[in-house]
Chain A
Amino acid sequence: MLRINNLHARIGKKSILNGIDLEINPGEVHAIMGPNGSGKSTLASVIAGKEEYEVRQGQIVFESEDIAELSADERAHKGIFLSFQYPVEIPGVTVTNFIKTALNQMQKAKGEKDMPANEMLKRIREKSEMLEIDRKFLSRSLNEGFSGGEKKRNEIFQMAMLEPKLAILDETDSGLDIDALRIVANGVNKLKSKDNATLVITHYQRLLDYIIPDFVHVLYDGKIVKSGGKELAFKLEEEGYDWIKKEVNQNV
């Protein structure tokens, strides 16, 4: 589904990704872990199409098409979704109006008509119930004054509404208490199918207790330096990142 070859990216003059290789197939859950500043969030943003980053080298191939030149909205239309670490507050637009707008733009990109109002409402009801979201919450301004947990739940709600093929969850566990974490993880698990894939980006192993990864990759200094199964996440939780740094430095 997603194949990243030798990806180099920088912002301004600062090189952040230094040769990433990653392959994700339908039905799989991948986790990317790594210390602060290793390039995790940059990788998420580059896949989603943030224009501030300049892709210097390499390819991002999504469903056999190189998407490196596509805009963020075009990538969204192809089925890529990014759950933000820090969702942006947009006063003046309600959650409902926002999601309706997004869904109808997706429909339009597919050459389809707006979703009928009753179908839209039904879907909003189903997905908000799944994520235990209060109806009142939907008529509030997007992310404005939301708690950390509400923001993340709202991200997963948008994901549920848009039904992406590839969902990238950037530090979705940060700022969540244990109950919110459980609800969010449950939501993600319910949305999983054999046809879609999930890329979880996290600093801690905690989220991976709830969303079980098939593969764990360790990102360090803009490169994937180690890949393994979910046991790798446990080792990182117990031993921290120092042994990885040591290993990398020895190889240098």
Chain B
Amino acid sequence: MELKEKLLSSFIAFENQDSSDSLFLNELRGEAIKNFETSGFPSKKDEAWKYTSLRSVLKQNYSLFPKSEHSIEYRDVQSFFVNDIDTYKIVFIDGKYAAHLSQTTHEGIDVCLMSAALSQSKYQVVIENYFNKIAAKHGLNALNTAFCSEGAYIHIKKNKVSKRPIQIIHFSTGKEPALLLQPRNLIVVDENAQVQILERHQSLTKNPTLTNSVTEIFAAKRAQVDYYKIQDDKLEASLIDNTFIDQNQESHVAVHTFSFGGRLTRNNLNFYQNGVRIESTLKGLTIIGQKQHVDHNTLVHHIAPNCESHQDYKGVFSDNAIGVFNGKVVVEKEAQKTNAFQANNNLLVNDRATINTKPQLEIFADDVKCSHGCTIGQLNENAMFYLRTRGIPEKEAKALLMYAFANNVLESVKIPQLKKSINKLVAKKLGVNIGFDL
């Protein structure tokens, strides 16, 4: 049976089993499954999916509802956490909450589970105000809305600052031959509040995993959100990340996406600005090889005056790796004095690697500064010669130049411990081991 049919037919069973859902949610799910039935999975015929095919990923016979909870020990997965700082942790194993690995809170801020938020009445107002308000209503997003049952629920209330970063980690154990996960996160950051969040999906075996994740982030007036996505999964794991961000006036939201692993990774990152003097930052660093595929599909929608957006995506592609960058910036007529910057720079390490890059600017205002640029290049010969005259052999010189190229995406990472661990990861991915402090 095709995955689509399998999903549609299991929806009835799913609906009946989950009786704790509110009427609000039941209606949403019913509508969502209908929308999914109509739109189905995206195919290469869709303009936005021209360079990324889900076909081979969808061929697996995925388990939709893992049967039992599979426990793992902290010491076995410790390396996937950022450890040397205090953090809140929301951890899932095969889609189920893992209390023994987590640390949640309700002190001034809510850092807890989506399942709790969806079923308990005290969260009802927030859920009804925000849940599924900005996520797209068709295709993969509808599928997630229909089936999602777990994820992170984060609510930072007015004037509160989460002193600890929050780590959201999804492990898959591979006890199922193939697993489809559909996490759902809701992050509401009230006026003048601040939060830093790390998200990671990590498979622990070679059994295939497909994650179709939806995250909605609401940043109220003057809120600050820093979101870091660490995508360093096993080669059998694929991820479709759908993130929607609604920003109100003077808010600052930055999303950093580090894509080093996985088989197929698609990042749909959408920023909707709804006020004046907003800043949106989108940074990405992709370092892949073998037959890996990473696709960044971004949208920044400017609708009010005096806002900024900064996009900087870099990629290093080797072997048969494929990279896609499709960055759309819309500046509406009212959005005068917009400053929108977009850059996509790529290094192809050999001639089998591919990058498809497509900037799209739609500007309806006349007093704006918008720039975009993309480069696809090989390593600079003069720089190679320079390094080699200093005694650095070819292989190490290449690695050092790639490291240098990648490094400046890390400069805006605000958590030093995270910066250090990503720096190490970058060095490892590029084979830089030439004796300097990272």
Contacts and interface: CB of A to CB of B under 8 A. Distances in A.
17 contacts: A48-B385, A49-B388, A72-B385, A73-B389, A76-B390, A88-B382, A88-B386, A91-B407, A92-B405, A92-B408, A93-B404, A93-B407, A100-B435, A102-B392, A104-B435, A105-B390, A105-B391
A105 B433 CA distance: 11
Interface stretch (B54-62, B211-219, B225-233, B394-402): B394-402
Nearest to A80: B389
Nearest to A76: B391
A102 B391 contact: yes
Contact of B383 (A50, A51, A72, A90): A90
A69 to B, nearest CB: 15
Contact of B406 (A71, A77, A92, A100): A92
B108 interface: no
Contacts of A87: 386
Contacts of A205: none
A48 B435 CA distance: 24
Specify which of A45, A96, A101, A162 lies most central, judged by the most chain B CB atoms within 10 Å of its CB: A101
A81 B389 contact: yes
A109 interface: yes
A75 B408 CA distance: 31
Which of A45, A50, A88 counts the most B-chain CB atoms under 10 A from its CB?
Answer: A88
Nearest to B406: A92
Contact of A105 (B380, B385, B396, B406): B396
Interface in A85-132: 87-88, 90-93, 96-98, 100-102, 104-106, 109, 114
A82 interface: yes
Nearest to B386: A88
B412 to A, nearest CB: 13
Given A73-B388, A92-B404, A101 B436 contact: yes
Contact of B435 (A49, A52, A101, A109): A101
Nearest to A159: B390
A93 B394 contact: no
Contacts of A210: none
Interface string A29-52: 000000000000000010011111
Nearest to B397: A73
A96 B436 CA distance: 9
**Chain B interface category by residue count:** 20 to 34
A19 B169 CA distance: 67
A84 interface: yes
Given A92-B404, A93-B400, A162-B390, A105 B381 contact: no
A126 to B, nearest CB: 19
Contacts of B260: none
A172 interface: no
A48 B389 contact: yes
A101 B404 contact: no
A105 B434 CA distance: 7
B283 to A, nearest CB: 14
B393 interface: yes
B179 to A, nearest CB: 38
Contacts of A45: 385
A162 B396 CA distance: 18
B382 to A, nearest CB: 5
**B380, B385, B389, B408: residue with the most chain A Cβ atoms closer than 10 Å:** B389
Contacts of A104: 434-435
B403 interface: yes
A90 B400 CA distance: 10
B385 A100 contact: no
A97 B437 contact: yes
B370 to A, nearest CB: 24
B429 to A, nearest CB: 15
Contacts of A82: 389
